[in-house]
Amino acid sequence: MSVQFIENKNLFILSCAKLSCAFYVDANKRLVHLHFGGKVLGEEGLVPQEIRKGHSSFSPWADGEKPEDSADALPLEFSGFNTGDFRINSATVLTENGSAATDALYVSHHIYKGKKRLAGLPSAFAGDHDSVETLEITMRDTACELEFILSYSVFEECNTIVRSVKAVNNTASPLVIRRLMSAQLDLPHTGFDFVQLSGSWSRERHPERTPLHSGIQSIRSVRGASGHQNSPAIALAAHDATEYSGDVYGAVLAYSGNFLIEAECEQYGTARLCAGINPENFSWMLAPGESFETPEVYLTYSGEGLGGMSRNLHDFMRSHLIRDGWADRKRPLLVNSWEAAYFDFDSVKLLGIAESAAKLGIEMLVLDDGWFGARNDDTTSLGDWFVNTDKIGDLGELVKKINALGVKFGLWFEPEMISEKSKLYQEHPEWVLHEPGRRRSIGRQQMLLDMSRPDVVQYLFETISNILHSANIEYVKWDMNRNLTEVYSDMLPPERQGEVAHRFMLGVYRLHEMLLKEFPGLLIEGCSGGGGRFDAGMLGYVPQIWCSDDTDAMERILIQLGTSYFYPVSTIGAHVSVCPNHITGRSTPFATRGNIALSGTFGYELDLTKLTEEDQALVRKQVADYHRYHHIIAGGDLYRLSDSFKVNPFDAWMYVSKDRKEALVTAVCRFCQPNSGVRFVRPRGLDPETVYEVDGMQVSGATLMSVGFQAKLEPGDGASRIYYLKAL
């Protein structure tokens, strides 16, 4: 059993292959945390911790309890507000009389096989895994009869526990949720580094590692999207943890809107982690009988360093988050029209690209921005989802011609956006997010539709569906090129305006669900100016996300390796683009651009009709490499072989098949250094007893992992090579 309840001790033990979590119900009905970390065998040693020493008047306890019962000193699974615990908390709820005091005590629990899906939110699923078990604990604030249902789903084989919270108003009066976090984790010391992914547009998800210190450290978004600046995922790594060893705790929030993940080092030398919807400008009115569910948090532990944490999360998301049929399916190898033509194209141009694609073995043409309304630049037509026939003719006929070449077809949309110069805005100006009496913000010449409105979501579903039904469109690139401002909706009264940002996100998720129900085989790639909404929430609907608008191969090393700390390589949209690169102006060898893009979904972002014969030959080789190595890259275990927290002159990473019979190493010289000596690569994850063939040598896995092999690269910046290892 992965969930146990020891009744005589009121003790819960949740167990994975290499992870255990334990907590108990104390005499005052609080849920007290005991352990989250390495696997424990049995209940021995799982005993209440001695109360932390301090001046008790400053850590108060409830009337009728003892000083050692102070909520301010206990490690808790769920904490309230203004009732004695002064740390960051799980829940703050405003009652009808204006009180924000919130407390919750244990009432009951329920253990069952499998896992429920959340309503309206991305949700992990058990699938065919009989080992998945869920514990639901009902807590109650006795002062107002508000219930909190804490959910723990244990995914044993992935060393991951999925947590969420549901609030249920059983009172006769409305309540207002001011803060409701999805998960809280109390850890027994503060000896951790805070590992996060940060950056900006075209420089997303660079890993950063800083020691925890007194006070609160956090990452967040108030942009209405998870954002380019911080990804909603963090790790707490022991100071001595490396890529390959040491204790690491990972937390990934499956949410695509305003989020908050924070860690507090408090007075008694312990650390508390909370993750969930950002409470800034958030409130939710809960009428009698209504409930509110939080997004999920995926918690994992690894004693095998940051790499072990990553592999846990990769396995979990591939098996239990990415929708059925896509986790392991080879994605169509595509060329996107954006950097090939921008807005300047017609049917002749597109057919030319498709013909070149067919000759080179590229399987899909994706028509990016500019095919709809009167769209010839970025000032017009967003929201007018009808074909610009003057520009490309009949879409159905164009797609038939492209399909006749043996090439599939995909199309770009930006559903959440609207242009002032559009028919839609003329007909429905009230559909735009706006604050009455305030100036309107413009970004990229566009405004935002109020996705909290059901009529807006229905309009988008109907117009997008009409396009998708009109032709054989097998792929959609879903973009979002600005963040939310003036977050106000005419549909809601003043006291409910704090709900708009979350309702906006629920509308986005709802539109995804509607489209996938109507078109179950449709492949949707997420995008937000590249990686501005690369998060586990979107991965619940889209099996891949455009990683960054920066396609410079040297820049992509750090972006893609950073992304891989929490997200599977199979979800990372990566393409070969033209040089000099359109963002950085850098030139990188064509072969290296392909080698780096192979560490993702792989495709092209250039005009295939302008390739030299030499480049065409390289494309054919890259296409062959994609098909040959896809199963190792997309389904194998990732090992980062160089320091991903800095820009290195030499980088290497590798993938190992699950049976450890094949592996692939990518080595890149980012910039050439004279007299730099011999570069050695030391693989990881191989079978020590197995002999592998690599670069003409036959070497045991033990020797390869201890000694390594020489990376023989051509001189020059950007030189690279892929090494294939096969068990003999």
Write the CA distances from 334 to 318, 358, 480, 534, 686, integer angstroms. 22, 11, 21, 20, 32
Beta strands 3-6 and 248-253, pairing class: unpaired
DSSP class per residue in 456-467: HHHHHHHHHHHH
pLDDT under 50 in the chain at which residues?
A: none
Q: By C-alpha distance, which of 504, 513, 515, 544 is closest to 527?
A: 544
Task: Output the 3-class SS for 207-273.
Answer: EEEEECCEEEEEEECCCCCCCCCEEEEEEEEECCCCCCCECEEEEEECCCCCEEEEEEECCCCCEEE
Beta strands 291-293 and 334-336, pairing class: unpaired
Q: E strands of 266-368, at which residues?
A: 271-277, 284-286, 291-293, 297-302, 334-336, 364-367
pLDDT digits (tens, 9 = 90+) for 326-335: 887 899 999 9
Pairwise CA distance, residues 573 & 586, whole Å: 20
The amino acid occupying position 537 is: G
Enumerate residues 6+ apart whose C-beta is below 8 A from 189. 269, 270, 271
What is the sign of the dihedral through the CA atoms of 708, 714, 720 and 725? negative
Write the CA distances from 533 to 108, 229, 254, 501, 538, integer angstroms. 38, 10, 11, 15, 7
CB 558 within 8 A of CB 304: no
* Helix spans in 420-572 (H): 423-427, 454-470, 500-518, 536-539, 553-563
Q: What per-residue confidence (pLDDT) applies to 438?
A: 92
SS3 618: helix
Q: Which residues are catalytic?
A: 479, 549
In terms of Cβ atoms closer than 10 Å to its own Cβ (0-12, 13-18, 19+), residue 78 is buried
Instruction: Using a pLDDT cut of 90, give the percent of the chain over it.
Output: 87
SS3 301: strand
